[in-house]
Amino acid sequence: MPVNALDSADDKPMMKTLKIIFQLLRRCLMGLFIAYWVIFIFYTVETFVTGGSSAVVGWYRHIDSSLVQRGDGWFLTKWSWEKFLAKTFAILAITLALYFVERRRGRTGSLRQT
């Protein structure tokens, strides 16, 4: 019996375990991103209803601001629409990619067939 056949037979339980771990990781990340979008949309609507568009921009600045250390002090980074929208669209792209990967995996039944 060739050595490769024995090696591949030993890897099957390990591969199944890795598939389960990656599936769990994907689903946890998907859950976190969905929670992020639910909270983001809810607070955007709530802030718009209670304070208008300027309050929404203030809230966006709040959630997107970050402190950086320069010399002896801490300073807020300059906020811009471009950076905020780039980060938001990046999060949206990751969320959609995870959704489509999970949807494709659900259709093929990757773990059910093994």
Q: What is the pLDDT of residues 28-87, one digit of tens each?
A: 999 999 999 999 999 999 999 999 999 999 999 988 887 777 777 788 788 889 999 999
DSSP string covering the chain: --HHHHHHHHHHHHHHHHHHHHHHHHHHHHHHHHHHHHHHHHHHHHHHHHH-HHHHHHHHHHHH--EEEETTEEEEPPP-HHHHHHHHHHHHHHHHHHHHHHHHHHHHTTTT--
